[in-house]
Amino acid sequence: MKLVTFKKSSLDEHSRLGAWVDGDKIIDLNLDVSDMPQFFEQNCTADAQKRIDTVQQQLSDGSNLSDVVFSVSDVQLLAPFPRPASLRDFGVFKTHMDAASRITGKEISPEWFKLPNYYRGSTSPASIAGHEAVVTWPNYTEKLDFELEWGIYIGKTGKNISIEEAPEYIAGYTVYNDISARDIQFRHMTLSLGPAKGKDFDNSNIMGPCLVTPDEIGDPYNLKMTARVNGEVWAEGNTSDMYYSFAEMVSFVSQSETLFPGEFLGSGTVGNGCGWELDRWIQPGDVIELEVENVGVLRNRIGEPEENPAAWKEKV
């Protein structure tokens, strides 16, 4: 099942839950739940499938369902969870780590091979964006970058989860573009507290175009990943390069910590999946398409650099 959170238009006050079917149709699920976390908390998958089957039968019978079924191009897709309960972004692709080591001249820490590492990202409403959202170009960066990633949402509450049990807690998968202001990010990271304003700005965490439930993914560790800029392939990789599985990540995070529906765990960048590794830099107006096999294509346009007369003045 491919689930989406959408609005009929940008003027809608409230978002809706839908199912993406038949290539280009969104079915309004019209369930008695308010959002995606509640959908999984109340285990609404069976009700959703029943609704999909009913609507598709009505369509085949020639019913006019224009108030229930919409074209993907006619709706605004939000991130599947527009306000994830938390965002943890890992770094589990070995090829990406090798590239970082080569570029920086620093060897991969032996600890990387012993336990998965992550940082906490912003989940403010302004930082989370979906398919076709315009990417903010912060006024303080000259090197904006995309990151070809994917990730999972937690589907039920759990704590001290074993690796064997962890797949039961995965609600579904989505494509993730971790937009990064590289110049300020690397300056911040010399201070040992994380990327800070290198990743904290409006529309910096882009997810979508949908959530795909595990039953439709197949083998999650043999999926092709592709990044295109203005239609040109910039990067290709495969999920088989993940040193840690999502099950291992879920189990690790859950140690002495309760996880709740809607928490997001990102994979980190696939090898060669960002401009920093390639030494190729996106520009305002570029269209970025990130694709993960069996999940979909997440497409966004890069906005113009923001003007800000109240920009931060550095101390000297």
Q: Which pLDDT does position 208 carry in this prediction?
A: 98
Tens place of pLDDT for every residue, the chain, 316 residues? 999 999 998 778 889 999 999 889 999 999 988 899 999 999 999 999 999 999 999 999 999 999 999 999 999 999 999 999 999 999 999 999 999 999 999 999 999 999 999 999 999 999 999 999 999 999 999 999 999 999 999 999 999 999 999 999 999 999 999 999 999 999 998 898 889 999 999 999 999 999 999 999 999 999 999 999 999 999 999 999 999 999 999 999 999 999 999 999 999 999 999 999 999 999 999 999 999 999 999 999 999 998 888 888 888 7
Q: Which pLDDT does position 13 carry in this prediction?
A: 83
Per-domain boundaries in the chain? 2-77, 86-305
Q: Which pLDDT does position 152 carry in this prediction?
A: 98
pTM listed for this prediction: 0.96
* Cα–Cα distance list, 247 to 16, 151, 220, 260, 267 (Å): 30, 12, 11, 15, 12
Q: Which pLDDT does position 110 carry in this prediction?
A: 95
Q: Which pLDDT does position 3 carry in this prediction?
A: 98
Nearest to 265 by CA among 163, 116, 131, 135: 116
Query: Which pairing describes strands 170-178 and 224-229: parallel, antiparallel, or unpaired?
Result: unpaired
SS3 250: helix
Q: Which pLDDT does position 34 carry in this prediction?
A: 84
Tell me the Cα Rg of the chain: 20
Topology of domain 86-305 in CATH is: Fumarylacetoacetate hydrolase; domain 2 (3.90.850)
Q: Which pLDDT does position 293 carry in this prediction?
A: 98
Q: Which pLDDT does position 9 carry in this prediction?
A: 81
With a CB cutoff of 8 Å and minimum separation 6, the contacts of 145 are: 179, 180, 181, 182, 274, 275, 276, 281, 282
Q: Which pLDDT does position 312 carry in this prediction?
A: 84
Helix (H) or strand (E) holding 228, with range, is: strand 224-229
Q: Which pLDDT does position 193 carry in this prediction?
A: 87
- The distance in angstroms from the start CA to the end CA of the chain is 55
DSSP class of residue 138 equals -
Contact 120, 88 (CB under 8 A): yes
Distance CA 95, CA 269 (A): 9
